[in-house]
Amino acid sequence: MYIVQVASECAPVIKAGGLGDVVFGLSRELEMRGHAVEIILPKYDSMRYDHIWGLHEAYANLTVNWYDGAIPCTVYCGWVYGRQCFFIEPHSPDNFFNRGCYYGCLDDHLRFAFFSKAALEFLLKTNKHPDVIHCHDWQTGLLPVMLYEIYKYHGMDTQRVCYTIHNFKHQGIAGTNILWATGLNRETYYFDYERLRDNFNPFAINLMKGGIVYSNYFNTVSPHHAWEAHHTDISYGLGETIRKHQHKFGGILNGIDYDVWSPESDRYLPYHYSPTNLKGKLMNKKALRERLWLGHDNKPLVAFIGRLDEQKGVHLVHHAIYYALHKGAQFVLLGSATEPGINSWFAHEKSFLNDNPDCHLELGFNEELSHLIYAAADIIVVPSNYEPCGLTQMIGLRYGAVPVVRGVGGLVSTVFDRDYEQYKPEEERNGYVFYQTDNQALESAMDRAIDLWYKKPKDFRQLVKQGMTYDYSWNHPGTAYVGVYDYIRHR
């Protein structure tokens, strides 16, 4: 099969969060299975050019109609650890992707609507005929709309679209100017509840809704979150639309790329280790402590890695820091906040805890450091309010950091409580789960994890090993996505 991924991120060259990991990891898995995969991305000025090999101009004069005029683009091609990527660079005073950031601009919906259109235009002009176009999140929600309403009539009539939703919270709520910009035009036609009109804001269109309505199949990133999206209000107003299109909706659990995330071979780790030899893990812990000026007492190291926002349960993350210290553990946080309030809250905590030898808060995005933290940590906390899948608990498991998670979304499908899991035998349990959103719930799970580390180190090590032997690679999800692609291709 020939598959084209169209996304706003691909790790490690463009990574703001888990979306980047998924686009890269899934593409690698598909290629290993013999499928041809190409990835189309925006050419941001701020992406990590040091992770691209052989970047060269692939298509010089791509003209993309935009409002009444057109924007010329150059398309570059390069390899990101073996994956063939095309980077679209528009040339216009809008400067869509030269903003020193990936997201967070007032005209984000225009930037990514343009990108979606340019991706289709590129496929058309270069005579590429993928069997499946796989789009991700609101940024590319308009792609299937334009494919079926415009590009189908220019010869792109065999392409099928799989649309994956990684986060229902961000839907791309936009004005109808998007319709005029992209050439979809017919405002009354699209501004309909059956098509793009937002279910709650009667004056706006919803790009994610467009992706749902027009794709051949759409999914979120774990079966449990698919259930939540269907039956609870976690889909942020899209429940009605999901129910209407439930015949083509599913949940596929993400994997993690074991070529990138393996303590046996991780290129960022000073010491390698495996479930049968954990000595290297201890040495990484020492290395991290030295790097972050932490004390070397015999204490468990608790970590949090992730975006600092409401989704991740920031109030519980904050409580986890102080509770870990209170319980005689160390705490390392690596996180970045886009919301100014949360950013200054954690910046304040950082300066408050600056001289504490048992705590380090690193605010910002640092891929290299994240690997060392996973490898050094004994426990990783993921107290999310909601979590479509969650990669940090899966990476934590792989690196021997016992996850303490809130029982929502994909966390439920991947972490099984050592003491209370009913459906798994003891030797298949791998962490701790709590359900409520209050401090006491988190404390009860952290208590159990930290107490086991102190009081029954052998049992703790056993739990670590059980987690490390779980298979959360792309193997199973790869099969599931190929199944979906095959299904939509032959329907």
Ligand X SMILES: Nc1ncnc2c1ncn2[C@@H]1O[C@H](COP(=O)(O)OP(=O)(O)O[C@H]2O[C@H](CO)[C@@H](O)[C@H](O)[C@H]2O)[C@@H](O)[C@H]1O
The residues binding ligand X (CB under 6 A) are 17-19, 21-22, 166-167, 221, 254, 305-307, 334-336, 365-367, 370, 387-392, 410
CB of 437 to ligand X, least distance (A): 17
Tell me the three state secondary structure of residue 45: coil
CB of 228 to ligand X, least distance (A): 12
Closest CB to ligand X among 88 and 380? 380
How far apart are the C-alpha atoms of 21 and 33, rounded to whole Å? 18
Closest CB to ligand X among 50 and 68? 50
424 annotated among ligand-binding-site residues: no
Closest to 401 (Cα-Cα) out of 386, 423, 428, 382: 382
How far apart are the C-alpha atoms of 204 and 207, rounded to whole Å? 10
Determine the number of helices (DSSP H) and then strands (DSSP E) in the chain: 17, 17
What's the gap between Cα 401 and its chain centre?
20
CB of 225 to ligand X, least distance (A): 8
Closest CB to ligand X among 21 and 358? 21
Closest CB to ligand X among 92 and 413? 413
Q: Which runs of consecutive H residues, i.e. helices, occur in 39-131?
A: 108-125
Closest CB to ligand X among 65 and 413? 413
- The answer to whether 359 and 331 have CB atoms below 8 angstroms apart is yes
What's the gap between Cα 456 and its chain centre?
35
User: Amino acid identity of 103?
Assistant: Y
Closest CB to ligand X among 76 and 345? 345
Distances (CA, A) of 286 to 233, 280, 299, 320: 44, 10, 11, 22
How far apart are the C-alpha atoms of 332 and 226, rounded to whole Å? 32
- The answer to whether 135 and 216 have CB atoms below 8 angstroms apart is no
Residue nearest to ligand X (CB): 17
Placement of tokens 């009109």 in the chain: 197
The annotation places the binding site for ADP-alpha-D-glucose at 15
- Residues contributing to the annotated binding site: 15
